[in-house]
Each structure stands twice: as structure tokens, then as C-alpha cells.
Amino acid sequence: MSKVLIIGAGGVGTVVAHKVAQNADVFTDIVIASRTKSKCDVLAADIEKREGVKVTTDSVDADSVPQLVALLKKHQPKLVINVALPYQDLTIMDACLECGVNYLDTANYEPKDEAHFEYSWQWAYKDKFEKAGLTAILGCGFDPGVSGVYTAYAAKHHFDEIQYLDIVDCNAGNHHKAFATNFNPEINIREITQKGRFYENGKWVETGALEIHKPLSYPNVGPKESYLMYHEELESLVKNYPTIKRARFWMTFGQEYLTHLRVIQDIGMARIDEVEYNGMKIVPLQFLKAVLPNPQDLGENYEGETSIGCRIRGLKDGKQKTYYVYNNCSHHAAFLETGMQGVSYTTGVPAMIGALMFLTGKWNMVGVHNVEEFDPDPFMEQLNKQGLPWHEVIDGDLEL
């Protein structure tokens, strides 16, 4: 008997809920709670129709620890899967500690009033989780998430020493909208407009936002302009693999997307501070979110696929070796299975697998951990079974 509580019923929460229901032998009781309960009810009805599984729903403001504590006491889950927003990570971790519940998320904590994310806030909970005998699994989406598991798998099976790591994230899909983000627009725009950063020879090197770019070729997609960005898993991976000399993250963007993004910034709509409007205070980026397409509604007309992977160079038996491990995910196939597009799917499936790893005792270290600290093998096995099969290229040209 394992009861799981999913917090957040957006694009990613919808996929997590479907996948958890598909694995009802492990997840014997499922609760979905979010700020707007009606969204959880619609989702529960869809899951009952598609998967034949009954789901309990509830409402919670996850910014409030007392509300979360009341929710956890009421449902008594073994594990919380947090797929609300990064702003809620710490409140949910606090409530988990108070109620003796384990924790998993897909994005590291970010304060609302500062577009800045890093693991220090959540790593600071390590002792508390250890003392309570609880586990917190951080960053268990695709990137962060599978990117860390891929790296751990490469370290375990292919390298004595990982030296160069490039995480490459390509969305070669077309949703037929002039501009839309693939996950929460507020979080997405905050992330992409930040300065770039990569790790080299023990130091972080800062770049202008999307300043460094080059075409990279992706399997079944071809060449796409790829932009160097800072991404949160770089922080934990260089810590957990100290032989890494350089670690970078690349993401593809189309010209149309970048032009819209520039205009949004130039006219002040990416601002996260409050402005006066008609006698009330609004945050421009939050207002923009309200008028942009909802990422949850993109799936129906989404064509093409994502291709995300790790390109790694290092030493094996004293010789240089290259290794590329990746997944390609079809937006349309994701939509047919869960009603959501590929970006929500590639995030939600790994979150479910991380939960499955924990509840089946395969990932069982207490404390606060990033995914690469656990055994990658059972997770990699599940990726092939749960809809995100992976492929590898050994000693190919990495282009990087």
C-alpha cells in the first residue's frame, strides 16, 4: 500500500497523474491537490476515463505551511510529488518534515521576488531530512532529472573519468502559435532571460543571456541553432563528478521565439517587480502569463519531437572516449496518451519513475539528494518501459 500525493495540476501534474495511475500496482492510492480544486476534478475524471483508476482530489495553497500540514495529516501519503511551482519547494519540504512524509520535485527553489535559482536553499535541509529518516529527491524531471541519471549511467558503465559534459535540449516541435512557452510561462521566461553560465576548470564563467550559440545536429531532427544557458543540474553534477573539467547546457530556440522574447523584455513585460495599474499593483510577467497560451492547451496541434541528451567525453581504460545518450519524444504521441504535449510528458514521466524508485525501495537513501546520487540502472530500465526510451552512440562525433 503506497499512497502518493501530487501537488500541482498543470501540464506536468497532469502527466504525473496519468503515469502514476498507469502504475497502480505500486501507487495504490492517489491524491491530487492544487490551488484550484476544479482543475484536479477535471483531471481525476479524465484519469478515471482513460486509465480506469479513481483519484482523490483536494485544494491547497502550497505557499502556506499550515494548509500543507493539514493536507498531509488528512491524507497521510508516503510521498509528495511536488509539481507546483519552484516557489513552493521550501514550504512543501517544511510540511513534509513536520508530518514525516518523503518528498520529490522537478525544479529547484526560486524566490518569487528574485529570478535566481540554486540548490543551496534545499541542500540546507539535508540534516533535517536525515534526522527525520526521510528522503527528498530533488530535480527529477527531464532536465534536471534524466540528464543527471544519464550522467550517472555514463559514469557507472562507460567512463573511469568524465571530463566534458554537454547537456543538449532540442525542441523541434511546432505548436502553430506565434509565441507560447512549453511549461509555466512565468518560470520559463524568468529562466531564459537570465545570464548564461557554464563551468570550466573549477570556475563558473558568466556570459550574456543566450550570447553563445552554434548549430548542433540532433538525431532524427538535423541541425538546430543551440544556445548556451545556465541550468540548475550543472550545479549538482559538477559537485558530484569532480573530474568534470567543463559542463555546459544548450537549448534550441527558433528565431520567431527569440524575437518575441526580445520584444517582451524591451517593453517591460518580463519585469517581476510590482507596478501600479489602475490603482492596483500587478507584476507584468504574471499578467503576461494570463494572456499567453496555456502550455496545457498546446498538445492537440503540436507536431514534431523533442530530443534531449548528454554528450560526454572522458577517459576509459586510459583512452579518450565519447558517449551520447538521448531520448526523442513525439509531442503527438504524448498528447494521445495523456492529453499533454511532449515537454510536460518528458518532465512528468521521470517524476513518476523517481517516485516508483523510492516506493519500491530501489532509491532509499535518507537525506536530501539529487538524482545522480542514486543507482541509475533501475531508473534507466523504467525509462524504456514507461514511454521515454533511450539510445546511445559510442565514440561518435559530439560536435562539441
Please give the residue ranges that form the binding site for ligand NDP (CB under 6 A).
Answer: 8-13, 34-36, 39, 60-63, 83-86, 88, 106-107, 141-145, 183-184, 187, 295-296, 343, 347
Shortest Å distance, C-beta 1 to ligand NDP: 26
Select the residue whose beta carbon is closest to ligand NDP and give its number: 10
Closer of 132 and 192 to ligand NDP (Cβ): 192
Closer of 141 and 339 to ligand NDP (Cβ): 141
Shortest Å distance, C-beta 287 to ligand NDP: 14
Q: What are the b/e assignments for 233-262, b being 16+ CB within 10 Å?
A: bbbbbbebbeebbbbbbbbbbeeebeeebe
Closer of 162 and 189 to ligand NDP (Cβ): 189
Shortest Å distance, C-beta 15 to ligand NDP: 8
Closer of 354 and 367 to ligand NDP (Cβ): 354
Give which of 111, 113, 93 is closest to 101, Cα–Cα: 93
Shortest Å distance, C-beta 377 to ligand NDP: 21
Closer of 132 and 357 to ligand NDP (Cβ): 357
Is the bond leading into 223 cis (omega within 30 degrees of zero)?
Answer: no
Shortest Å distance, C-beta 160 to ligand NDP: 29
Shortest Å distance, C-beta 308 to ligand NDP: 8
Closer of 22 and 182 to ligand NDP (Cβ): 182
